Chains A and B, each alone.
Chain A
């Protein structure tokens, strides 16, 4: 079992195995994303209160979900990398950080564009918005630590610990709208109750969430492949690859 994991998680093996996966994830993300956008922007009904402006939900909410999901993936891989010394896990963690930061940034920007017409303000320091901003800072801190420390193993260790410590922020973000009075609305979909959104709006929202996940899967594989090439640039399998060119 251990031997099998070791072989399967070798960067060389990963480098070849990930090619077809990237293709399928990209195609899936494109098809489902386009269909979800079409349903969301043209088919879903107008909202009774927010009119057409609510349609930014189909970008804002999947981006916000992804900013949390990618963080969990990043922290879990960093943990696996620290505990079991699996180099591929460190590569996945390092490859995830800029993607997660982009999702957090996108969620903050779309949220602020949504907030201005609906609430009357681009930004307020309520618990949900502040904790999401801290999530962006955590991603940036991880990336800064990665590039600040020259020795790759210490860089992975230091940034990985930051990522693991930062996991406290994830439940805070999720429950902020329940624990404190916030200007941000409460949970529409991610609660134990029935979702408080009409089914014709819910379907494109979930499709977009799936498309965002597939997009992330494709991008993280591409970035992890680059990471593998760069980190193993002096190893034999990369040299052999270069010689084949």
Chain B
């Protein structure tokens, strides 16, 4: 192969590669630009019915129930406006806990139950030592009690 044709092949390869990358990227964007739907969006019927999608929200405190002897777990997911129930069988990520933001991939059943085959934990942008987190929580609690007239 002489120099000129090698150059041609290289340029074609570059153009092809960039084109492929763009197509892949755009496809990924179209499918997942909105990485997840919120329970409110799902209740409003914005989520796709035909294929599986993701739902994101906070795990409602006290809603997690596990079935004895299996990995089946059920919990409620909320965006502080609407709430929906999610069912999942499998190992949950470390950060999964009540009050935590999570994203579940799965599909909506006719009875309104969301059956997930993947659960990912979402964490927020706050970083602080546990003592500070406890102090913040305590302060919030005090403020709440004060607002409700208990103190």
A residues touching B (Cβ–Cβ < 8 Å)?
Answer: 45-50, 54, 57, 117-121, 124-127, 130, 133-134, 137, 141, 144-145, 147-150, 180-183, 185-188, 196-198, 200-201
Contacts and interface: CB of A to CB of B under 8 A. Distances in A.
A194 B48 CA distance: 38
Given A46-B129, A48-B133, A148-B14, A186 B93 contact: no
Given A117-B94, A137-B18, A145-B14, A50 B121 contact: no
A192 to B, nearest CB: 14
A118 B56 contact: no
Interface stretch (B32-40, B107-115, B139-147): B32-40
15 contacts: A47-B127, A47-B128, A49-B123, A49-B126, A50-B123, A119-B93, A121-B118, A126-B35, A133-B25, A137-B21, A141-B14, A183-B35, A185-B122, A185-B124, A188-B127
A180 B33 contact: yes
Contact of A198 (B34, B96, B129): B129
A118 B127 contact: no
A165 to B, nearest CB: 11
Contacts of B3: 150
A9 B126 CA distance: 45
Given A119-B122, A186-B124, 17 more contacts: A45-B130, A48-B130, A48-B134, A49-B95, A57-B127, A118-B121, A119-B95, A119-B121, A121-B120, A127-B35, A141-B21, A149-B11, A180-B35, A181-B35, A183-B35, A183-B120, A198-B129
B18 to A, nearest CB: 5
A181 B36 contact: yes
A111 to B, nearest CB: 13
Contacts of B125: 185-188, 196-197
A54 B17 contact: no
Nearest to A45: B129
B72 interface: no
Contact of A130 (B18, B29, B56, B119): B29
A149 B7 contact: yes
B138 interface: no
A66 to B, nearest CB: 20
Contacts of A48: 128-130, 132-134
B3, B37, B103, B125 — most chain A CB neighbours (10 Å) = B125
B17 A141 contact: yes
Nearest to A191: B125
Contacts of A119: 93, 95, 120-123
Contacts of A124: 35, 120
Nearest to A116: B93
Interface string B28-67: 1101111111100000000000000000100000000000
B45 to A, nearest CB: 17
A180 B130 CA distance: 30
B10, B17, B126 — most chain A CB neighbours (10 Å) = B126
Contacts of B38: 181
Contacts of A57: 127
A120 B21 contact: no
A94 B7 CA distance: 19
Given A119-B93, A141-B18, A148-B14, A125 B126 contact: no
A94 B31 CA distance: 35
A145 B15 CA distance: 9
